[in-house]
Each structure stands twice: as C-alpha cells, then as structure tokens.
Amino acid sequence: MIVSLPDLSHSELYNILLNSVAPRPIAWVSTVSASGQPNLAPFSFFNAVCADPPLLAFAPALRQPKRPEGGKGEAKDTLRNIRETREFVVNIVTYELREAMNLTSGEYDASVNEFELAKLTPEASKIVRSPRVAESPVSFECKLHQILDFSTAPTGGSLVIGEIVSIHMNDAYLKDGRLDRNSLDLIGRMGGIQYTRTTQRFEMVRPKVG
C-alpha cells in the first residue's frame, strides 16, 4: 500500500506518524509564566539533538481554536511560558511516575498548577526559574536556544530547542559515579493511548569497518 500525502486527512497522517515513529521518549516540561505561575506538561515529539552544544528539542502542537472555522491555533501554556521567560526544565518519566505524568497532560486552564494537581514536588532549579520535578530521576535545566514556528493553522505547531545548562541526577540511579541506564525504568509513548515500558532490552555491537 502506498499513500499520497494529499490523499490523507490530518487525522489519518497523524495516526500513521504516532503508530510508526515509536516508541517516543517523553519530555515532561516544567515552566513558569512571566508572572510566576508554574506549569507542567508532557510532550512525546521529543529527543536529544546535539551534544556540542548540548541541545534538547520538543515540539508542542497548538491548541484547537475556540472557533474552528478559519481560526488560528493557540499556543499551549508551555510554549507561551517559554516565549516569555526563555527557559524551561525537561524531566524524564519513569514507570513509577506514569499516572502523575498522564494527569498533567490535560488541557487545563493556565491558572491550574499541575504540580499540585498531580501531588508532585516542585524543586528549585540551580540556574533557571522553572522548578524541576523532584520525583524525576533526571532533570535538564534549559535556556531557550531557538523556536521554529511551522504553522499557525489549528493543526500546526512549533519546535522548541533548548540548551542544557544544568543536569540533576538522583544519586539512587548512579553507579560508580555514572548514570546507571539499567536502573531507569523509563516509559515511551506509542500510538493512541498506548505506552511502552523499557524493561526488555538487548545489546548489539556495532560492526568495525576498516
């Protein structure tokens, strides 16, 4: 089966992307507004994109406008906060934190504090104003590097690129002074409401050439 992009509706294309580009890591992004209101939300269009400079990127979609006919998409609280303050924190999500993460994914009013809603501990960051999730094993403090706006259509979105300025790692997940990947029970996003747990792992040695 071969499909042409013009033949696909937005929902059909979105479904193909979510079900085939998976599993996707989850950026649990904490921000504060210019007035100091905390916000916490997960995004699964996310990855590390460069080590020098150290960059993380995630892509928040736009909220559907209140008047769909001809309206523009509205920036989510996370994106608006980053535009205002130019900083944020990416917290990683473990299996233990799955329910709290899912609770913060709702389309809440900007006045809602998701830390309080999900009964999570906001811990002060070292450099940025945004608090980190104390329960997360690893948190990355980021300063805004760049925002790429793709479209203001209701189905559009942006790419937020942040430069890591500080990293918090829970000592319980360190082994010989280094982060122990086998102790991190991370989860990933699949399509629809499906997630995956990264407990079944295997190793492969890359071929030596030349």
> Average pLDDT, stretch 103-130?
97
Of 52-56, 68-72, 142-146, which range is least confident? 68-72
The CA-based angle 24-71-17, given to 5 degrees, is 20
SS3 187: strand
Q: Where does the pLDDT of residue 69 fall: very low under 50, low under 70, confident under 90, or very high at 90 and above?
A: low
**List of domains in the chain:** 23-193 (2.30.110.10)
56 or 155: which leads in pLDDT = 56
Instruction: Answer whether 118's CB lies under 8 Å from 107's CB.
Output: no
Instruction: Answer whether 115's CB lies under 8 Å from 122's CB.
Output: yes
Task: Report whether pLDDT(106) > 90.
Answer: yes
Kindly write down the DSSP assignment for every residue of 123-141, as one continuous string: E--SSSSSPEETTSSEEEE
And the tokens for 161? 């690129």
The mean of the pLDDT values for the chain is 94
pLDDT digits (tens, 9 = 90+) for 158-191: 999 999 999 999 999 999 999 999 999 999 999 9
